[in-house]
Structure 1
Amino acid sequence: MRHGGQILVQALKTNGVTRVFCVPGESYLAALDGLFDSGIDTVVTRHESGAAMMAEAHGKLTGRPGIAFVTRGPGATNASAGVHIAFQDSTPMILFVGQVASDQRDREAFQEVDYRAMFSPLAKWVAEVDRTDRLPEYINRAFATALSGRPGPVVLALPEDMLSDQADVIDMPAAQPPKAQAAQSDIAEITERLAQAKRPFILVGGGGWRAEARDALGAFAKALNVPVGAAFRCQDYLNNDHPNYVGDVGIGPNPELAKAVREADVLLALGPRLGEMTTSGYTLLRAPLPEQALLHVHADANELGRVYHPSLGVAGRPAEVVLQLAAHTGSGRFQSTHNPHDPDGRAAYVSALRRSYEAWQRPVETPGDLKMQQVMAHLRDTLPETAILTNGAGNYAGWLHRYYRWRGWRTQLAPTSGSMGYGLPAAVAAALEHPDRSVLCLAGDGCFQMTSQEFGTACEYGAKVIVLVVNNGMYGTIRMHQQKTYPGRVSATRLKNPDFAALARAYGALGLTVTETAAFPDALAQAMAADTPAILDLKVDPRALSTTLQTKDL
């Protein structure tokens, strides 16, 4: 006989869970008891949004569901931001929410919420476990649902009495989601249509990728000599030094890159949903019938044809499909029939796009003594390939997207949902998972203050994160749009900021203020050498907005 918390934790261990994130609550005391001496690392955060965002980032990093525990009512509503990120980013995640005891349900008891109604638009599956002996069943289904098809978040509500009750149950084996490969005829058609195209283009993104698929993508693109662009905040899906990588098709892309997508005759969308951010507000492809021959590969069949009618729709996990494509192009059968249209012209086409990408990364002058474009260039040229960079949302992210190069797999953690405050919790999760790697969080002053309390979590658990706070004293994105739409009428966008470097020192960490470009390399070196987390307060001129980066909204 075991109580529900012990049964639950054993199911987590069976499914390979090694770390969970939480804010403790009396509604799930039995689960906390189950975690005691379980061998699972329990990270206590300062706020439920931080716990959920850390779990989401953990899911991105590992490809396995990140786990968060929060209490009922306010705890659940605070965590909803992380669930929304996981949904829009197609990240596997499971949120466990304490619930009122079953004999108090439907009385609007203390902190009672109907979680099925609350989370159903934000999660793949929401359920409430009514029986202790069914916990293994529910948890295995949660893992299978989070990982199968288009990955995403699952929410399980745990009534307090159910969790503390005892039951004699048999533990289930780990969930095994299907591979979801494409038919061989689809692989052959995709390969042939790309080979015969004059101006083909591959656009990669979405969830469910892994390192092997990234390598296969590079081999496939090289074999067919096709340019590859990354969807919004998916820039680490191919080594940015690869000769076929031509930039990110996100917010405010390189105009030459946007033109190439618009003028492509065959476009292979390998994983992305083709949402607003990746299509520049649904302008790079005409909806609902694109001018390009659209070959759309997506793990969820319901996504195919949802916005754009594809010439060929393939329901399959992009990681599996790209492995199939690489194997097909490497076969002797394909080589014998491969006859690309104008191979010399194709090579010139790819080379021109690559040169345009490299030119796009040359720094553009901005006002002020501290130049963020130069800061990003220094990071690009000095950080190891394994360094992980995180960010939330804000005008500042435009510099990172444009000037940095991601070379290693899962070295970019950022929310495609555009959620502010994500960067610091994601950095903490990354530093705990990879303590031997450099982890940097880039955050605007407004973005940082959404979750700045999680710097305390980093200090408590020894997560050596370096936070670069881009401090311009305002909500820069909104100010940019405000000045454009209502010039001279500044409202609700100013920020009164603390001394961020002093905040770091108050935690016993390293805090430095940087006011000019020449001082940044030394400040970064000190932060890299420190044995504590660090905050570098970067004082940026408020006039240095992303209008110079030709961005729409960051």
Structure 2
Amino acid sequence: MCAAQKHDTTTEKTTAQVLVDCLKAEGVDVIFGIPGEENLDLMFAIKEAGIRFIPTRHEQGAAFMADVYGRLTGRAGVCLATLGPGATNLVTGVADAFLDGAPLVAITGQVSTELMQLTSHQYLDLSAMFSPITKRSKVVMRPDTVTEICRLAFKYAENGKPGATHIDLPKNIAHMPCPAKPLRRQQPPALYADPAAVTEAARMISEARNPVILAGAGAVRGHAAQAVTTMAERLHIPVVQTMMGKGIIPCDNKYRMGVVGIPQHDYIIDAFDQADLVIGIGYDLVECSPKKWHTHDDMKIINIAALPADVNQLYEPEIEVVGNLSDSIYQILRTACRDDKPEPESMLAVGCRLHKELEEQGKDNSFPMKPGRLISDIRKVLGRSDILVSDVGAHKIWIGREYPCYEPNTCLISNGFASMGFAVPGAFAAKMLRPERRVLAVSGDGGFMMNSQELETAVREKVPFVTLIWEDAHYGLIKWKEEEQFGDVFGVGFTNPDFCALAEAMHCHGYRVGSCEDFIPTLERAFENTDAPSVVVVPVDYSANMELTRTLRAAYN
């Protein structure tokens, strides 16, 4: 008999048990988190229901796991924490899901309702705290409201632009009898674009001299990769991707030009200099400000998305095609025609330039290894459908700019909230969901130490992904920015533990790369381990950062 039932004198289920019934009705099969005294009723209800619970080593790791679960499945990932410090530890991962558009439901324990008006041990107004970083945050103040609160949490998390929601369950409410039953999941209606908007968009695209497609995270969430690629090929339009839109068009397609979003003025901006029409497809301003690419006043914009565009002085669409992305694109293709327009050779040359640049960097045999050589070699080891999960740091800029992708959701980058510590727990969730694929977490030594403890979770749960640490003993991205702006560095250096010994202490496999030639064999060896995760450490030479800065400045100043 569970803890909740021992104190229950009725045959009615408790609020905690009904909440778990609601989670099962939503299709929840796994919850990530750390329990506490205030959610013990909920924990034993989870046990009774047979939902898999994965105890993590930090609540932030639980939130990142739920975040990536949501990205890859389209269904809300669920994370759980107790009140006070447990809840505050969730905040970074919840905020990441909120800005990056990943469906997530966070559940927290709370003090009993009679203590909320008092100065109470560990009490914070969690609904107020989570409100700015969620689409909806509610406290269950009466047992009979729990089913509605839960249904709405999932509805808000998964629909529109997906994001995070929060449910706060006080301890006394969790234990009370609850007469309610789970509400049915509602299938959201399919929304299709206004035919007049489709017709006008097709006309503008047909008449444009140099259109360019800007594909973002919404195109990935909307499963529009095939439609975007078809539009590019049929209408001869180059495609620029955001970092979170990588893979929306295969990297070996001639119309794929590259990625916008690095801090520097990059070659890809040349395409926008020439463009008279930008076709935003699933573009989200949080990924990359229009200031990066809106280079002249003669540029017109079409917004093709599931939702109307946000307001921005530099993103004012002439026409908005709002509805199912793939349907909108195929409807446009019924009447749009650009057969009388020449192939955009000068714009496509931008993508060729980046491709050739990576080829040249891949020949660099110096050691410590340069970022371009590392990316080139990683691509040789990973298959087309394998998954790379990037942490945040200098390596993210190189991966975002240069790592070739063939499919959506094969390069996961946090670039809305852009939080360090994302890669290790994110790779855990990716490998758990896609066990047949190779999953590689790429992290700097700074980001790795922020959530390295989740390797123990991976060992315990038998989830064998590989973590690659680019080691330079600095917070590399901030060092790069300091060098650019001040010509000096301050406050960004640190020392590192022996990462191989640390990995082995957590019952993982540890490897250290000693030469360029050793990198690919070492990474292959790490992926052969199926009994436990592996950690590969490679010294990196980030002098390439300022080399890139000087090259781009010379080209555009």
Q: 1:104 aligns with which of 115, 130, 144?
A: 115
Q: CA deviation at 1:11?
A: 1.1
Is 2:47 aligned against 1:59?
no
Inter-partner Cα distance in structure 2 for 1:25 and 1:235: 39
The verdict on how the C-alpha distance between 1:350 and 1:284 changes in structure 2, with shifts beyond 3 A counting, is closer
1:482–1:136 Cα change, 3 Å: same
Q: Given that residues 191 and 325 in structure 1 are in contact (C-alpha distance below 8 angstroms), is that contact kept between their aligned partners in structure 2? A: no
Partner of 1:197: 208
What's the counterpart of residue 384 of structure 2? 385
Match of 2:157 among 129, 137, 146: 146
Quote the residue 2:8 is aligned against: none
The separation in 1 between residues aligned to 2:13 and 2:345, in whole angstroms, is 67
Q: In the alignment, what sits opposite 1:439?
A: 439
Q: Which moved more, 1:253-262 or 1:526-535?
A: 253-262
* SS state at 1:437 partner: coil
- Structure 1 residue 254: deviation in Å? 7.9
Change (3 A) 1:466 1:154: same
Aligned to 2:353: 356
Distance in 2 between the 1:147 and 1:31 partners? 23
Structure 2 residue identity aligned to 1:292: M
C-alpha distance in 2 between matches for 1:152 and 1:193: 33
Q: Gaps (5+ residues) in structure 1? A: none
| Percentage identity across paired residues of the two chains | 29
Quote the RMSD (CA, aligned, Å).
Answer: 2.3
1:389 maps to a residue whose letter is: L
Query: 2:314 & 2:150 partners in 1: Cα distance?
Result: 33
Q: Distance in 2 between matches of 1:418 and 1:547?
A: 24
Are residues 1:311 and 2:308 paired? Answer: no
- 3-state SS of the aligned residue for 2:199? helix
Specify whether residues 233 and 209 from structure 1 end up closer, same or farther in structure 2 by C-alpha distance, changes over 3 A only: closer
Secondary structure, in 3 states, of the residue corresponding to 1:428? helix
Rounded Cα–Cα distance in structure 2 between residues aligned with 1:64 and 1:53:
14
In structure 2, what is the equivalent of residue 229 of structure 1? Answer: 240
Does residue 415 (structure 1) correspond to residue 414 (structure 2)? The answer is yes
Q: Which amino acid in the other structure matches residue 294 of structure 2?
A: L
- Report the 3-state secondary structure (helix = DSSP H, G, I; strand = E; otherwise coil) of the residue aligned with 2:320: strand
CA contact (8 A) 1:225 1:347 kept: yes
When structure 1 is superposed on structure 2, of 464-473 and 366-375 the one drifting more is 366-375
Q: Post-superposition shift, 1:148? A: 2.0
Mapping of residues 63-82 of structure 1, within 5 Å: 63-82=74-93
Tell which deviates more after alignment, 245-254 or 130-139.
245-254
1:163 Cα deviation (Å)? 1.3
Q: Distance in 1 between the 2:168 and 2:547 partners?
A: 45
Q: Identify which range, 302-311 or 129-138, moves more after superposition.
A: 302-311
Deviation at 1:251, TM superposition (A): 0.7
Q: Is the 8 A contact 2:236 2:338 kept in 1?
A: no
In 2, Cα distance between equivalents of 1:173 and 1:257: 47
Question: Which residue in 2 is equivalent to 1:485?
Answer: 485
Kept in 2: contact 1:91–1:207 (CA 8 A) = no
> Offset at 1:227?
1.0
What aligned pairs does 1:124-523 form with structure 2 within 5 A after superposition?
124-207=135-218, 209-210=220-221, 212-252=223-263, 255-275=266-286, 277-279=288-290, 282-285=291-294, 290-301=297-308, 303-305=310-312, 308-316=315-323, 320-329=324-333, 331=334, 334=335, 338-340=336-338, 342-343=340-341, 345-349=342-346, 351-364=348-361, 368-416=367-415, 417-488=417-488, 490-523=489-522
Over 3 Å counting, the alpha-carbon distance change for 1:410 and 1:512 in structure 2 is: same
- Distance (whole Å) between structure 1 residues aligned to residue 194 and residue 59 of structure 2: 43
Cα distance, 1:361 vs structure 2: 2.6
Deviation at 1:354, TM superposition (A): 3.9
Amino acid at match of 2:529: A
Pair 323,314 (structure 1): closer, same or farther in 2 beyond 3 Å: closer
Aligned with 2:245: secondary structure? coil
Counterpart Cα distance in 2 of 1:80 and 1:232:
23
1:345-371 C-alpha deviation (Å, 9 max, x unpaired):
235356434423422433445964323
Alpha-carbon displacement from aligned partner over 1:8-53 (angstroms, at most 9, x marks no partner): 1111111111111111111111221121042322111100110011
- How far the C-alpha of 1:7 sits from its partner, in A, is 1.0
**Post-superposition offset of 1:62:** 0.7
Matches of 1:323 and 1:408, distance apart in 2 = 20
- Could you say what secondary structure the match of 1:121 adopts? helix
Distance 1:341 1:251 in 2: 34
CA distance in 1, matches of 2:442, 2:156: 32
Matching residue's letter, 2:508? A
Distance 2:234 2:487 in 1: 51
8 A contact 1:71–1:98 mirrored in 2: yes
CA distance in 2, matches of 1:29, 1:352: 60
Query: In 1, are the aligned partners of 2:192 and 2:327 still within 8 Å (CA)?
Result: no
Count of equivalent residues: 537
The question of 1:121 aligning with 2:132 is answered yes
Measure how far apart 1:412 and its partner are.
1.6
Runs of 5+ in structure 2 lacking a partner?
Answer: 1-11
- The 3-state SS of whatever aligns with 2:227 is helix
TM-score (norm 1): 0.91
In structure 1, what is the Cα distance between the partners aligned to 2:56 and 2:160? 30
Q: How far did 1:106 drift?
A: 2.1
Shift of 1:192: 2.5
Q: Which amino acid aligns with 1:133?
A: D
- Deviation at 1:405? 1.3
Distance 1:349 1:82, change over 3 A: same
CA distance in 2, matches of 1:51, 1:103: 29
Once residues 21 and 30 of structure 2 are traced to their aligned partners in structure 1, the CA distance between those partners, rounded to angstroms, is 13
